[in-house]
Structure 1
Amino acid sequence: MRKFGKWAGRILLALILAAVVVGLWKREEITRLWAVNTLFDEGKIVQNFSHMDAAFLTTTLPRGTGGVSPLPKGDAIDLPDGSDTWLKARAVTSLLVIKHGETRFEDYYLGTGPEDRRISWSVAKSYLSALLGVLLEEGAIASIDDPVTTYAPLLVGSAYDGASIRNVLNMASGVTFDEDYFDFNSDINRMGRVVALGGTLDDFTASFTVRFAEPGEIWKYVSIDTHVIGMVIRGATGRSVPDLLTEKIIAPLGLEQDGQYITDGAGVAFVLGGLNFTTRDYARFGLMIAQDGVYGGKQLVSAAWIAASTKASAPTAPGKIRYGFQWWVPADAHDGEFFGRGIYGQYIYIDQPSGVLIVATGADRHFRDTGAYEQNLEMFRRIAKTL
């Protein structure tokens, strides 16, 4: 028994030492994984959403060397009645309202400020749509009706084999993907762990082999479709999305701060939700879109692409919220009303006819509750009417 106890002690010591060694060796990965697993925790979510580089690998999006022009200011407005209740209920962290290019309201909440770089979540999808439009105009991509495998051959034999670029722009690939953010084992959360642990999103995407419908038949929001758009862009150009986005859009906008893009272990951008900019810099992008692709007197994205991408074109269900090319369109929208949207309350809302742009960021842990989206849309419309 003494020998057994002696050997058992040595084995236990060896296991402890091994764990320490592995812990030191993988300390960064373990730290990121812990940060990801507590990313949305109450009491941490607001801080986390302004410091995403603590949880993920990131790359810098330089703001350009041409300087930045301050957003012009107009007469300040008061928010509509009930706004205080809305701000609290939806855990809004920043709100910026622009009318005809002039800032009419700007404020920050829950301890955040104008210098915070805020996570975009799926608002990033709308940025990627704009970049794709530029590359189409330049001829790097021939047509959105080309198969995605023309530019992303890794997807041959996957569930994306047979899908077109149009299909993935419309979130109509038919690929089976579980986007339940509250299920630890869902596909979207497995994707998050791949990113946190330095895995590769291309391989993860190519691993999906099942479709619930043929491409183009049914709309179903699956964020992995946007990663395929990123694969198409990289395959068509031989360049990274951060480099292209910086050159074509970010630097010409002239941001107040460098941006950040979350990346996977291969340095590939998390294009479906990984941008980090200040609220004002999100507004600069929104202004460019609202102005039919023009900013600072330059046509950054073609007006034709802005019109096509923000039009409801996906095969969504009648009477429900609609979708374009990585832009949302309200079910009862008037012409020129659309928005980019990210989980937990991130919005770039645009009403082109009235010249209104609203940027809102949040840390809304109840964003999936019945009526949450409707409350946001109603408030944006009420704010627009006050102008």
Structure 2
Amino acid sequence: MRRLGYALAVLAVVLASLAAWKREDIIRLMAVQSLFSEDRIVWNFSHMDSLFRAVPLDAGAAPEPLPEGPAVTLPDGWDAWLKRRAITGVVILKSGVRVHEAYRLGTGQADERISWSVAKSYLSGLFGILVAEGHVDSLGAQVVEYVPELKGSAYDGVTILNVLQMSSGVEFDEDYLDFWSDINKMGRVLALGGSMDRFAAGLTVRAHSPGEAWEYVSIDTHVLGMVARAATGRDLPDLMAEKLLRPLGTYGQPYYLTDGYGVAFALGGLNLTTRDYSRMGEMFRQMGRFGGRQIVPADWVAESTRPSARTKEGARQYGYQWWMAADARPGEFMARGVYGQYVYIDRSSGTVIAVNAADRNFREHGAFEDALDMFRRIATGEGKV
């Protein structure tokens, strides 16, 4: 009995030590489980660096705000839409002039809000710069030419263009509501300090041949980030800060969420203020030019924001990590993230709309159309009070 008691005491000490050693990982795992809870989601989306590993981006001094003009008259039903879509922050620009800015649900101008998949469009812009600088020779090159550790995975034989267009063919379940989906497995890898690179390399099943069909696969964006890192020999946060954010100017302290190896969560871990998101939209409205400087090459802006992926006829369209509506007019496109994050651009009317939200109903039928309709009414001036 004495030996049993001793063994149990030793086991208790080991378990206590293990719990202390893994305390932060356990806390992060718990954060994943409650990340989208109704009573937590708004606060969580403004404090992601307190829930996950994160690295700050050296984006330089805060810029002067964009000029402010006469307030735009908002469409009828605006307040109801804000409530329905759980909007936390919105900035509207007309021809580079800020005509509306508001924050809700306890958030404020200084809040750095999680981008989710809006980060994909930032990475697209950065990649265009790297191509122009000669770090990447051809979009037709296979990703394994830059990232040999992907040999033998489902990404072996996939081109850079394929991952840009979400046409890798890799089988990946993007269902946020399924605990065992690939996207949620990936979230647990992130929370528990695993390796995103290893997770990507561990995917071995294909749903389609590369380039055969479009299917939204978020891990494609991580692979795009792996190529950017390999092509330059630099970390993504450094590249993003130097090539894109410092030239644009940012407020506060932007940051990336990272895995346990310090690798940026490229497909959705960028955190910026709503004003910052609007500046990125304004740069793309101006064909990559901002503050008198060409930041992203104009030809890349044109190519990346036109429909080019093999989406189904009559469905939403896709370019290089940018979205277009099924009936998009020329120069109308958007960055889009889960739970209601948008950067909408319409060149014909000079409109940029940056929206952050905590919309737990973002997957319901018609939610996208609800947002698009409001954006278009603002752009065209229809439905004014």
TM-score scaled to structure 2, two decimals? 0.97
1:138 aligned partner: 133
Distance 2:42 2:189 in 1: 23
1:314-329 matches, cutoff 5 A: 314-329=309-324
Whether 1:225 and 2:220 are equivalent positions in the alignment is yes
Q: CA deviation at 1:255?
A: 1.1
Map Cα deviations across residues 110-146 of structure 1 (whole Å, 9 max, x no partner).
1100010000000000000001100111111001111
Distance 1:58 1:287 in 2: 27
Distance 1:190 1:317 in 2: 28
1:22 aligned partner: 18
* Letter aligned with residue 43 of structure 2: Q
What is the DSSP-based 3-state SS (H/G/I as helix, E as strand, rest coil) of the residue aligned with 1:348?
Answer: strand
Q: Of 15, 37, 43, which residue of structure 2 is paired with 1:41? A: 37
* Letter aligned with residue 136 of structure 2: I
Q: CA deviation at 1:289?
A: 1.0
1:234-249 matches, cutoff 5 A: 234-249=229-244
1:73-92 matches, cutoff 5 A: 73-92=68-87
Q: CA deviation at 1:386?
A: 2.2
* Letter aligned with residue 306 of structure 1: V
* Letter aligned with residue 29 of structure 1: D
2:28 aligned partner: 32
Matched-pair identity in %: 56
Whether 1:202 and 2:197 are equivalent positions in the alignment is yes
Q: Of 249, 256, 259, which residue of structure 1 is paired with 2:251? A: 256
What is the DSSP-based 3-state SS (H/G/I as helix, E as strand, rest coil) of the residue aligned with 1:353?
Answer: helix
Note if contact 1:121-1:274 (Cα within 8 Å) is conserved in structure 2. Answer: yes
Deviates more, 1:220-229 or 1:79-88: 79-88
Deviates more, 1:11-20 or 1:73-82: 11-20
Q: Of 59, 83, 86, which residue of structure 2 is paired with 1:63? A: 59
Distance 1:337 1:311 in 2: 9
Q: CA deviation at 1:290?
A: 1.0
Distance 2:15 2:106 in 1: 38
Whether 1:190 and 2:182 are equivalent positions in the alignment is no
TM-score scaled to structure 1, two decimals? 0.96
Q: CA deviation at 1:22?
A: 1.1
Distance 1:7 1:113 in 2: 60
What is the DSSP-based 3-state SS (H/G/I as helix, E as strand, rest coil) of the residue aligned with 2:365?
Answer: coil
* Letter aligned with residue 117 of structure 1: E
2:99 aligned partner: 104
What is the DSSP-based 3-state SS (H/G/I as helix, E as strand, rest coil) of the residue aligned with 2:176?
Answer: coil
Note if contact 2:169-2:211 (Cα within 8 Å) is conserved in structure 1. Answer: yes
Note if contact 1:35-1:54 (Cα within 8 Å) is conserved in structure 2. Answer: no
The answer for unaligned runs of 5 or more in structure 1 is none
User: How much is the aligned-residue C-alpha RMSD, in angstroms?
Assistant: 1.2
Q: CA deviation at 1:310?
A: 0.3
2:46 aligned partner: 50
Whether 1:334 and 2:350 are equivalent positions in the alignment is no
Distance 1:190 1:18 in 2: 28
Distance 2:137 2:112 in 1: 35
Distance 2:239 2:64 in 1: 22
Deviates more, 1:77-86 or 1:362-371: 77-86
Distance 2:28 2:234 in 1: 27
Q: Of 135, 149, 157, which residue of structure 2 is paired with 1:154? A: 149
* Letter aligned with residue 100 of structure 2: F
* Letter aligned with residue 32 of structure 2: V
Q: CA deviation at 1:8?
A: 5.3
Distance 2:83 2:6 in 1: 56
Distance 1:43 1:384 in 2: 33
Q: CA deviation at 1:9?
A: 4.8
Distance 1:216 1:331 in 2: 20
* Letter aligned with residue 339 of structure 1: M
Q: Of 105, 112, 115, which residue of structure 1 is paired with 2:110? A: 115
Whether 1:94 and 2:83 are equivalent positions in the alignment is no
What is the DSSP-based 3-state SS (H/G/I as helix, E as strand, rest coil) of the residue aligned with 1:242?
Answer: helix
1:383 aligned partner: 378
Map Cα deviations across residues 307-353 of structure 1 (whole Å, 9 max, x no partner).
00000000000000000000000000000000000000000000012
Distance 1:165 1:294 in 2: 25
Map Cα deviations across residues 147-176 of structure 1 (whole Å, 9 max, x no partner).
111111111111011111000000000000
Note if contact 2:144-2:151 (Cα within 8 Å) is conserved in structure 1. Answer: yes
1:257-272 matches, cutoff 5 A: 257-272=252-267
Whether 1:369 and 2:364 are equivalent positions in the alignment is yes
